[in-house]
Chain A
Amino acid sequence: MDLTTKYLGLEIKTPFVPSASPLSRSIDMCKELEAGGAGAIIMWSLFEEAITAESESMVRFLSQQETGFAEAGSFLPDHQDFANALDIYLENLRRLKDALDIPVIASLNGVTPGGWIEHGKELEQAGADALELNVYYVAADIDQSSAEVEERYLTLLKDLRQHISIPINMKLSPAFSSVGNVAKKMEAAGASGVALFNRFYQPDINVDSMRLQPSLHPSTSAEALLAMRWIAILYGRTDLSLGATSGVHTPEDAIKLLLAGADVVHLCSVLLAKGPAYLGHIRSGVTDWMEEQGFESVDEFRGRVSALSVPNPAEFERANYVNVIDSYSFSPGVMV
């Protein structure tokens, strides 16, 4: 069974690429993922905030602890000689490269142009096979136009492109008015692929304290459908690698996305919940299905249910709506 896939210009063994998550902090977990059939690994995101804010807080709470109180000159032990967030990330990247045969994709996460983007070069030098740029940006300023938001993405991408020569994958949010057009612009600006879509954690309200609190609701299979639609629409119309992210929980989810045209499927919530070994289950589910259907390779069925391939592409635009209308339309002949 041939699962090989071309992704971001890299030849990878399978289309299953675990997305940025804490799993990548552990070499052992990553080895398990590789054994389970991961085609590549995306490391956890190096946050712009982690590089700057964490440094500030370390200085404040380690280097500037004194309060002037006689009994406590400090509160936390301060080993002055420790690595910063970037050092640790680079070290992990090097160790992952040593331990794994599959490509390792580094991930940068930020929203503003600045010095942090230069870290891309260090990631490249440490051996990253590609770099994912995760722009975690909520356009809360209602005076900002959608064009300005898009420009922010493009500026960051162009900045990064100047610093590195490895492929860049853009992780996009679904909150663009024209997702396809944005993808096209990304391609023009030098991206090699897009991951659809980023999930923003939504803040929640605590009714006891009446204050905001962060919340985390792991994705569900239903969320995969959003990516599926857009991948089906983009398939064949761009040279970008298409990665489907959010909501891949079962072999069926993966198959659907590949059928829609995804080059790779990204997995996160399900692996966090069920452990890295679960990747093997997804993989064998897909290969079992391929065998049943008589497919020898992924390429044989990739994009088979994309907008280019289905008899009525308009269904991707309003299919569910039509079905919902059907579900409450009366059968002919029923008295009303």
Chain B
Amino acid sequence: MSQKQMVTIDGNEAAAYVAHMTNEVVAIYPITPASPMGEWADEWSSLNIENLWGTVPDVIEMQSEAGAAGAIHGALQAGSLSTTFTASQGLLLMIPNMYKIAGELSPTVLHVSARSLAAQALSIFGDHSDVMACRATGYAMLCSASVQEVMDFALISQAATLEGRVPFLHFFDGFRTSHEVDKVEKLPVETIRAMIDEDLVKLHRERALNPDHPVIRGTSQNPDVYFQGRETVNPFYTALPAIVQKWMDKFAELTGRQYKLFEYVGAEDAERVIMLMGSGIGAAEEAVRHMVAHGEKVGMVNVRLYRPFDPSYLLGALPVTTRKIAVLDRCKEPGADGEPLYKDVLSALAQAVANGDMATMPRVVGGRYGLSSKEFTPAMVKGIFDELTKDKPKNFFTVGIIDDVTNTSLPWDPLFRPDTAEGVTACVFYGLGSDGTVSANKNSIKIISEETPNYGQGYFQYDSKKAGAVTISHLRFGPDPIHSTYLIGDGQASFVACHQPTFLTRYDMLDKAKEGAVFLLNSPTPPERVWDDLPKRMQQQIIDKGLSFYVVDAYKIAGETGMGRRINTIMQTCFFAISGILPKDEAIAQIKAAVKKTYGKKGQRLLDRNYAAIDASLDGLHQVQVPGQVTSAFERPPTVPKDAPPFVQKVTALLMADKGDSLPVSLMPPDGTWPTGTTRYEKRNIALELPKWEDDICTHCGKCPLVCPHAAIRAKVYPEDLTADAPESFQHVQIKGKDFPAGYHITYQVAPDDCTGCGLCVEVCPIRDRKDPKRKALNMVPAEQTHNIEQSNWDFFLGLPEYDRTKLAATKIKHAMMLQPLFEFSGACVGCGETPYIKLASQLFGDRMLIANATGCSSIYGGNLPTTPYTTTSEGRGPTWNNSLFEDNAEFGLGLRLAVDKQTEHARELVVRLADKIGGDLAEGLLNADQSDEAGIFEQRQRIAALKEKLNTMDDLDARSLNAICENLAKRSVWIVGGDGWAYDIGYGGVDHVLATGRNVNLLVLDTEVYSNTGGQTSKATPLGAVAKFSAAGKPTFKKDLAMMAMAYENVYVASVAFGAKDVQTIRAFMEAESYDGPSVLICYSPCIAHGVDLSNNLRQQDMAVNSGHWALFRYDPRRTEKGENPLKIDCKPPSIPYRDYVSTETRFSVLNRTHPEAAERYLQMAQKHVETRFSLYEQLAALAVERAPEKKAS
């Protein structure tokens, strides 16, 4: 056995390491939480890291998981060792190929970080719903329960598949294992080599499709032989369990780690046994060992090989004394009489009894736990064992939730702690996503795990918001390997750190502290006064638990040492200084070494700054003298205002306060239907600066509300007399221009709690004070100066009425921006380039919008709980929204259109039928309404209201039918929204088909030129030479021209827009697209944080993209052809700045100069030529003469 190499990595990296080492063709596609596996493989190949056979694996990104599976299938058929990684919906897309690959007995391992499936809602978190959907594919299924097992089983499954020829699905729990950082033993190359039988590899090669000795596979078979053919594989499945065990035994010889197909842990004479697979095993083992140590006859069977399911191994593992068994499934199969593992165990035992292999049938119950990474703790395991003590334990139970509807849930004692928790140091850190807390903590685990004999574990809770996201880091350290696969709970942490003082009133973080723990706070308040900043309850906890309380002004130190607002190394230094985990000097030396590794190549100045910050941290760290009694007069304020709707108070507020786990089933909507417009209750107050309106110089152009990504600056026009009761500070002036009646005032108002401080409104403001050119009509000022004033102004502003939308000319920005945004305060990134487009659409058409939203950023900031941004007008109208899937969004949206159109058509038929009863004039009006403008739509809604009144008094079937669907007589605007990953890649087939149908839908493509939501992976919209995940060496191909493809249909309205470059063109394009009675596609340039540019420059980047020719502005309107005009109109000038100037401002391009300078230059030259020729091509198309269709002559 060679020298052990311990590494600190997460589950995804562990799987990717073995996969990259043992394969040569890797087809990938991003999906959370599996994306990092593909990213690792891609990165290693881009660094020319070789596999076991000394060649660099070919890693290729596909257009979807279905595509990846197809590519794997092909690669296997042509004799390569091939793999892929996926999860959830991606795995579902692979199922058809999985049947094929298994049917053809092709050896391969598919690594899956198991994740929930989208049902009543999407969830990115971990459970076994996805893998359980693959039970029938013929894949073997091997489950890893820890990071070490992920690495080990990745290899064991690779070895076994080569021998057994049955493909493997190797899975582990999403996030809990895929993202948990652990100290594990890295498999040495010689161990991997010893596990891969070269003769078996050769046999695989020999079975390849090869024209030198051809065969045919994939034939079409008929009733005569298909069935028999299906049965031919039986011996392979029969033999497989023994093969897997054989390789597990061989692995044990090589590494000392012995695994079993079914592994028993617990008392030899156990009477109560639980069975489960996956990360829950860690928590369960802690409970079992504790209970056994306390004399209880309990045990557990860890299921490793789930398919083929071999009862003989299962029975072999089970103590003969077993009387009661609880089988736990991490999935749900509605309508079934039990979940899959339960039924498999039940059937195995029943058969054993029936066959006489077992004397009596134990009592077997099944239960569900841990869906969507729901916590699963030793306490819950104890709760299950307690249930098993009953004569008739509950079957089909749930644990971990409160089910007060069908009463399935078991109780548990949250205070139960296994003895194993002793001796482990548990630390919890509350930080901001952007302050570097998570990376500092990962670094701390590395230091402790790799520089001391201790083991370390890190797990990170993230936020559903992208701007101002909060992270909670859970770190454990101890002398033995750590198997606590659950969060650090209340009363368990010996160290609690609060990296942001604003969290003091948002989270009950000291609940986590145990007696005598250390509490570290970052605060600008000096140590002698900081006690007064704490709410009452927190002070009480510090006193009651005898906590040591330390404070450091990390922002001050960061500022003084040139670190800006980056406080992570400062807080990390303080952690080591007071936690006592490592000697202080040694810890500091290690932190400096880590800093050098990260920044060494990026400049001495950066290193010096970091070193200075580390050194200054200790001087700035102070212990606070804790008084003997509570002195605070304030409590944590309520999460939502008292006037929030009851649902928000009862449900949403708890989600916001991180207490959603306590909500019972009865409070959940049963079909995934949630109220809209809830972001307004989540007052996050994250802006450090706020815009201040200078009403004396403002010209009311409307550009500021247009560019605001969060609808946090608004315009309203109203009669001046409504301001009689306004707060004194409320600003309002006579509106400029002749479009509005006399006596009308305008206000531009910031929502101070919802603004993120991005500064785009100030950036876009074109007005400067002639006397003081630094003063614009909007200026950013420190939030503390104006926040409270603006808060009362905003409250007053909300109460002012909206201006009559039928009187606004929406093609003018000034007017359009007086329309109420029906998309507000989303969780999108600070300065997001996508949301202004959605907000604009919601202003123009929101009261009649149905939105189909592809999975991605827009579905996350658009529909991720706790709060959602789509909202309503005062009449209650607003966008109605659903996210079907990633791949089917265009089709889903088309379905909405078809339904609306059908119901409209039927409603019209019914109006005709009922014309006499409802009145000829009304019927006539309803049928011939001109709804081409707001006034027309308003009038039609009035008619529908009148119709409903009449229908309510009628009782025949037609009247009732019409009553149910008559709202469809008003105009409906169907929007199909998504990013470039959807429109260019995974959903392109659907996009293409929907455009071809000619139906009236509007596709809004928010083109960030990468898969933004999953972390910046390459799409076909990624430009040449841009660095992105999966294109670490720069994308070698040009961006796909989606607009040109759509224009080829000739009856599709197409526009390419960039609001930051030409806002008027954007608005015009939106209006035209919606008014066009056919398919339209708006391709919207959307700067993204993934471009590596500060988004306060969002508008400048759009401008440069247009001026450099990267992003041309144009509109293709098929209606112009009918008028004898060219349908294509170019809305921008030819490229006027060098492409180099544009790309040099974005890290996605400029980093290539550092990593691959020659390629960077080559791509740049190519791109420069490309933008010129492309513009010229468009110009020529726009200049073509179009013949007017000959008018039909009267016969």
Contacts and interface: CB of A to CB of B under 8 A. Distances in A.
Is the A/B pair a real complex?
A: yes
Interface string A188-216: 00000000000000001010111101111
Contact of A57 (B1088, B1099, B1147): B1147
Interface string A70-99: 111111110111111100100010000000
A72 B1016 contact: yes
A211 B765 CA distance: 9
B463 interface: yes
Given A63-B599, A83-B601, A211-B1103, A76 B1147 contact: yes
Contacts of A72: 1012-1016
B1015 A211 contact: no
A310 interface: no
A69 B466 contact: yes
Nearest to B1142: A214
B1090 A75 contact: yes
Interface string B1007-1024: 000101111100000000
Given A55-B602, A58-B602, A77-B43, A82 B1155 contact: yes
B1137 A216 contact: yes
Given A58-B1154, A213-B1137, A215-B1137, A71 B124 contact: yes
A145 interface: no
A206 B1103 contact: yes
B189 interface: no
Nearest to A71: B32
Interface in A34-79: 51-52, 54-64, 66-77, 79
Contact of A55 (B39, B470, B605, B1090): B605
B601 A80 contact: yes
Nearest to B470: A68
Interface in B119-146: 124
Contacts of A81: 601
A64 B595 CA distance: 12
A209 B32 contact: no
B31 to A, nearest CB: 9
A66 to B, nearest CB: 6
Contact of A71 (B829, B1014, B1150): B1014
B1141 A66 contact: no
Contact of A209 (B597, B606, B1060): B1060
Contacts, number: 175
Contacts of A214: 1104, 1137, 1141
Interface residues of B, number: 80
Contacts of B43: 77, 79
Given A68-B471, A79-B1155, A61 B1092 contact: yes
Interface in B448-477: 462-466, 469-471
B1140 A22 contact: yes
Interface in B254-306: none
A80 B1161 contact: no
A68 B469 contact: yes
Contact of A59 (B466, B606, B1027): B606
Interface string B637-648: 000000000000
Contact of B438 (A26, A60, A68, A71): A68
A121 interface: no
B766 to A, nearest CB: 4
A55 B764 CA distance: 28
Nearest to B467: A67
Contacts of A55: 602-603, 605-606
Contacts of A82: 601, 1151, 1154-1155
Interface in B91-140: 124
A75 B1015 contact: yes
B602 A59 contact: yes
Contact of B1089 (A51, A59, A75, A77): A75
Contacts of A210: 766
A16 to B, nearest CB: 23
Contact of B1136 (A67, A70, A215): A215
Contact of B602 (A22, A63, A68, A73): A63
Contact of A66 (B438, B1104, B1150, B1154): B438
A210 B766 CA distance: 6
Interface string B163-182: 00000000000010000000
B655 to A, nearest CB: 15
Contacts of B829: 67
A209 B434 contact: no
A73 B1060 CA distance: 28
B1133 to A, nearest CB: 9
A67 B463 CA distance: 9
Contact of B1138 (A59, A67, A70, A216): A216
B1154 A208 contact: no
A210 B1061 CA distance: 10
Q: Which of B36, B471, B1027, B1154 has the most CB atoms of chain A within a 10 A radius of its CB?
A: B1154
Contacts of B1062: 208-209
A62 B1151 contact: yes
Contact of A84 (B433, B463, B602, B1016): B602
Nearest to B31: A71
A257 to B, nearest CB: 26
A52 to B, nearest CB: 7
A122 B1062 CA distance: 46
A84 B600 CA distance: 10
A304 interface: no
Contacts of A67: 433-434, 466, 469, 829, 1089
A57 B564 CA distance: 13
A58 B1151 contact: yes
B766 A66 contact: no
B1027 A68 contact: no
B556 interface: no
Contact of A58 (B36, B39, B1147): B1147
A76 B463 CA distance: 20
B1154 A83 contact: yes
Contact of A69 (B469, B1061, B1155): B469
A99 to B, nearest CB: 13
A25 B433 contact: no
A82 B433 CA distance: 26
B598 interface: yes
Contact of A22 (B432, B436, B1161): B1161
A76 B1090 contact: yes
Contacts of B463: 68-70
A75 B1090 CA distance: 5
A266 to B, nearest CB: 19
A107 B978 CA distance: 47
Given A64-B566, A67-B829, A213-B1137, A26 B462 contact: no
Contacts of A26: 1158, 1161
A76 B32 contact: no
A88 B1100 CA distance: 28
A143 B1141 CA distance: 31
Interface of B: 32-33, 35-36, 39, 42-43, 46-47, 124, 175, 431-434, 436, 438-439, 462-466, 469-471, 566, 597-599, 601-603, 605-606, 764, 766, 829, 860, 1010, 1012-1016, 1027-1029, 1032, 1060-1064, 1088-1090, 1092-1094, 1099-1100, 1103-1104, 1107, 1136-1138, 1140-1141, 1147-1148, 1150-1151, 1153-1155, 1157-1158, 1161
11 contacts: A66-B438, A68-B432, A72-B1012, A74-B1015, A77-B42, A82-B601, A84-B1154, A208-B1064, A209-B764, A213-B1137, A214-B1137
Interface of A: 22, 25-26, 51-52, 54-64, 66-77, 79-85, 88, 92, 115, 204, 206, 208-211, 213-216
The 4 closest A-B pairs by CB, nearest first: A68-B433, A68-B469, A72-B1015, A75-B1016
Given A57-B1092, A68-B462, A75-B1016, 4 more contacts: A67-B466, A68-B434, A75-B1029, A77-B1032
